[in-house]
Each structure stands twice: as C-alpha cells, then as structure tokens.
Structure 1
C-alpha cells in the first residue's frame, strides 16, 4: 500500500501529509514539524486518512494485523500455560522423589517369550501378566515396587537351551510419570529416551546369571514360574555399566552412558563404589 502524499488528520497536530512509510513506521509532515508513528497502529486512534479508498484498504491491513496479534497472544498464553503445567509436574515429581523411600530391590527382570521379543522393541512396553488365584484372579499384576528409579530388564532364552543360557536382550527405564502402585492395566511403558536394545552378538556377552542369584537357592539357576522378578538396584547398575563398555556404536554408547548415569543418580549409587558382579555363574 502506497500512502505517500496522502492527507491525514491527527487529533492533536491537525492536518498533514504522509512523507515516508514502511511496514512498521509512518512519517507525517504537519504544519510545523514531522512526526513518526507506529504503522498501522497509529490509524486505530490518532490518525485518520482523508482518502476513503485508501482508508478502506488500510482497514483490511489493520484487521489482518489484529488477527495476527491475537494469534501471537494466544500462542504466548498457551506457552505460559504449558510452562506452568510443566513446572507443576516437575514440582510434584520432585516432591514424590523426595518423599519416596527407595526400595533396595526396585528393579524388574522379565522373561520375554518369542512373541514378546518380536514386539517389545517396537512397542517399548511389557505386560506383567495376570493374577492366577484368589479374589483378584484374572486381574493384571501390579508392579508395586516400580518407580521412576526403576529399570525393566529384558531377558530371553531359547526353548532348547538350559536356564544358565538366559541372555540379557535389552533394558529401559520406566516412563517418567510411572508409579507402579497406580498401574491398573499391567503394562509398564518405557522412558521416552532411556531405552536400549542389544544386538545378538552383544546379548551373547551378557548372561543374566552372571549378575543374579536367588536368595532362597543361591547356587541354583532356576526360573520355573512367573513372567518377572524383582531384583537388586546395584545389580542393575552393574548390568548397565557393562552394557556401556559393550557398545561400540558412538550414538548407542552415549545413550547407554546417559542411561547408566541417570539410573545411578536416581538410585543414589556411586559408580566408583560398585562391586564386581557376583551372580551364580561367577561362583561356579
């Protein structure tokens, strides 16, 4: 829009004509001096165009800008609300973590069958199974010990192999907002970032029983029933530490390192004080 030489009236400075303007400023020559105004805002209250055709076109420009300003304000308000909600969630999480007493065995190891192995690394969740007897028969098991400090360790073994050949195939921190005692459907979702899959070659170097032993049968490698078991926080730290050393791909190694450090921080474990693995395989 070209407004040069167009006549205007200002409620304080009187009549004048436009000498310069761009998308953000307009300069008007009045009887005694030049004045600069914000464009097109000045035409909302202070300036009035004499040329009706130009004034009509200007109204459309002003209307368009007002719509854009409203959109920007709405976006700003949405962002403020998002930040407020995020801060509230962060505060609630910090409060929960501060008041939460860490269970020394708040990690969970899963036995993944063939069907689960085919989808666990795409869906990134595991199912705890259902209760077999009692009043709650048929309802999903609640992973009550799991919290934001917990890892789900994924293991598997071929049907024709013995239990000592069970291998670790992956691991993930539970979802950022996950609290096991509130889990009604039995599904444990993965953290948005901290999740690892091992290659077949890597898995062959990570025997599960190198790290795990059953208190009731400390010299036996037995897993006869159930989809999962709880196990020691330090054992999980040992496993994650060894996975870091195992990874050769730069990106995968960095992810494994970040997961390990995040895990140690949440579980208040000093990596310098980690003992050596002492599972059943290490004592044979």
Structure 2
C-alpha cells in the first residue's frame, strides 16, 4: 500500500502529509515539524487518513494484523500450556514411580459366567470371589497386586467349547483411587474413562490364549479353578494394541488408543519395543 503524499490528521499536530513509510513505521511532515509513528498502530488511535478509500483499505490491513497478532498470542499460550502439562505429567509419573514398585504381573484376567457377562459391563466392576479354605474362609479374596497401573481383562467361554476358544469380552483399568492391598470387599471397580467393551464380532477375533501361557505348563491351555489369575503387563499391552486395530468406530478407536498409551505409561512399557504375542495358541 503506497501512502506517500497522503494527507492525514493528528489530534495534537493537526494536518500533515506522509513522506516516508514501511511495514513498521511512518514519517509525517506537519506544519511545524516531522514525526515518526509506529505503522499501522498509530492509525488506530492518533492518525486518520483523509481519503476514505485509503482509510478503509488501511482498516482492513489493521484488522488482518490484529487477527495475526491474536493468533500468535494464542499459539504462545498453547505452547506454554503444553509445556506445563508435560511438566506436570513428568512430575506425576516420577511421584508414582517413586512410591510404587511395579510388579511385572499386576494385571488380572477374569472368568465371566453368563450372568457376569452382563453385570460386568452394566456395573463396570467384578467381584474377586471368596476364600475357599483356611482361617479366612468365606471372606472376599484381596486382589493385592492390583494398583493404578493394573487392568482387568474380562473373558468368557461357552460351556460346550474347549478352553483354547476363550474369548476376550472387554477390558478396563482399575478405578483411579483403587488399591488392591486395601480392598476388603473384593469388588474391583473400573476407571472413569479407560474401559472398553468389545462387540461380538470383535470378541470372536480376540482369543485369550493368543497372549497367555502358563509358565509351568506352557504347552497346556487349562484354567482349572478360581475366578481370576494374574498375568504379565506386556501381555495386557499386546491385547490393548490389538483392540485398537479391531475398533472401526472413530470414537472407540480413539479411546482405545488413549487407553493403550495410558497403560504403557503407567507400566513403563516402551511402545516401540513391545514384542509380538507369543501365547500358547501361537505355538500350536
């Protein structure tokens, strides 16, 4: 925009003529002296172009610069927020790791009977069962290994099917305030956000024994007794990663991805180094 020789008025200095200007400054010759002003800022308050078409064009430039300025400020604010958020996450992670020693097998797989296949998802919790013998017979089992880094895997098998066909129905992180060592009633509630239920089609593609193996008898697939058993943190990460690939719904897939990343962070698992599933089903 060429403003040389354009007439302007100033509240204090009166009428003047522009003699020089660039992207950041403008020089105006008034009756008694020449003055330098910041361009285009001075035209917002102190200066006014006499030509209306020039004034309108300059207003457009000023508005555009104001929008750009606000966008720059917003970007800087977002960068600061992101830095603070990352710092907070680092401090929280350091605090968590300082006060809690991770157990390599702090995940739970739960055997759902027909009734529990519905209640587990409607109530988003499972019951660890009761102790069968000894001094504490009849009292709820205490899931002592479960902590905020733990997830509960819900599985089921049709009574007519062999154990190798055990399907994964869903999974949830334990509630944010849950501590297995302090659990007296045997109820294991779900996290407020990280919980996933699989569709029947998804479940039919996800077999528990693809990931799990019994260390004492790695070639056998048998559950024997009990409602639950603990298993390896890496196996749970493998399952969550495969759930991500199964989810077609955009929102559910995004939640599954967030779940997976959160789980890996809580269990100090490097995503890039996660091994491929190598459960008993992968060996037959």
Q: Which band: TM-score by shorter chain?
A: 0.5 to 0.7
**Secondary structure, aligned partner of 2:245:** helix
Q: Which residue of 2 aligns with 1:247?
A: 247
- SS at structure 1 position matched to 2:169: strand
Question: Is 2:175 the partner of 1:175?
Answer: yes
C-alpha distance in 2 between matches for 1:92 and 1:237: 21
Change (3 A) 1:96 1:193: same
Q: Which runs of 5+ in 1 are unaligned?
A: 1-90
The equivalent residue for 2:137 is: 137
Counterpart Cα distance in 2 of 1:275 and 1:128: 30
- How far did 1:118 drift? 1.4
TM-score by length of 2: 0.67
TM-superposed deviation, 1:92: 9.7
Q: In structure 1, what is the equivalent of residue 189 of structure 2? A: 189
Alpha-carbon offset, residue 98 of structure 1: 2.2
TM-aligned CA distance change 1:256 to 1:145, over 3 Å: same
Corresponding pairs, count: 194
Q: Secondary structure at the match of 1:109?
A: strand
Q: Distance in 1 between matches of 2:178 and 2:188?
A: 8
Return the alpha-carbon distance in structure 1 between the equivalents of residues 98 and 255 of structure 2: 26
- TM-score, normalization: structure 1? 0.67
* CA offset digits 1:167-204 (Å, max 9, x no partner): 00000000001010000000000000000000000001
Give 1:274's aligned residue.
274
Is 1:258 the counterpart of 2:232? The answer is no
Tell me what 2:283 maps to. 283
Alpha-carbon separation, structure 2, partners of 1:264 and 1:96: 14
Relative to structure 1, is the Cα distance of residues 238 and 92 closer, same or farther in structure 2, using a 3 angstrom cutoff?
A: closer
> Aligned residue for 1:66?
none
Instruction: Give the Å deviation of 1:216.
Output: 1.0
Distance 2:188 2:157 in 1: 21
User: What pairs with 1:207-226 in structure 2 (closer than 5 Å)?
Assistant: 207-226=207-226
For the residue of structure 1 that corresponds to 2:258, the secondary structure is helix
Structure 1 residue 94 displacement after superposition: 6.9
> Which residue of the partner structure matches residue 159 of structure 2?
159
SS state at 1:188 partner: strand
Structure 2: stretches of 5+ with no match in the other structure: 1-90
C-alpha deviation, 1:96, in angstroms: 5.1
> What does the per-residue CA deviation read over 1:46-103, in whole Å, with 9 as the maximum and x for residues that have no partner?
xxxxxxxxxxxxxxxxxxxxxxxxxxxxxxxxxxxxxxxxxxxxx9997454211000
Distance 1:92 1:187, change over 3 A: farther
Aligned residue in 1 for 2:57: none
Cα distance in 2 for partners of 1:121, 1:134 equals 32
Tell me the residue number matched to 2:228.
228
